[in-house]
Amino acid sequence: MAKPDEKSFPDHFGRSVRALSDYMGIGLQIAVSFAFFVLAGYWADGRFGTSPLLLLAGVVLGMVGMSLVLMKVVRKANKKNR
């Protein structure tokens, strides 16, 4: 006969995997939003010869993008808690 803890293991494991995937998705969104703008600024600097102005603009825009993603996640978490 199975112990009560053994029966609840799949349930706890499933919830843990879902929570982990949510956090990994958030990390990926933040990394991609930052990398996109930095790489776009780097490419534009090479194309137009404005080094390092557009790269720096890309860094700033990437930080703004990361902040927006983070604010979206925080708002979503606050709605769940209410």
Q: Is residue 56 in some structural domain?
A: yes
Domain coverage including residue 45: 35-75
Domain presence at residue 81: no
- pLDDT on residue 24: 86
Q: Is there a domain that residue 49 lies in?
A: yes
The helix or strand, by DSSP H or E, that contains position 1, with its residue range, turns out to be none
pLDDT tens for 5-24 read 556 666 777 777 877 887 88
Predicted local confidence at residue 4, as pLDDT: 53
69 domain-assigned:
yes
Residue 1's pLDDT is what?
47
- Give the residue with greater pLDDT, 78 vs 22: 78
In a domain, residue 46? The reply is yes
* Domain contains 47: yes
Residue 82 lies in a domain: no
- What is the residue whose two structure tokens read 């990390």? 27
56 and 44 in contact (C-beta within 8 Å)? no
Is the residue at 61 inside a domain?
Answer: yes
Count of domains forming the chain: 1
What is the tens place of the pLDDT at every residue in 27-71? 898 899 899 999 999 999 999 999 999 999 999 999 998 999 889
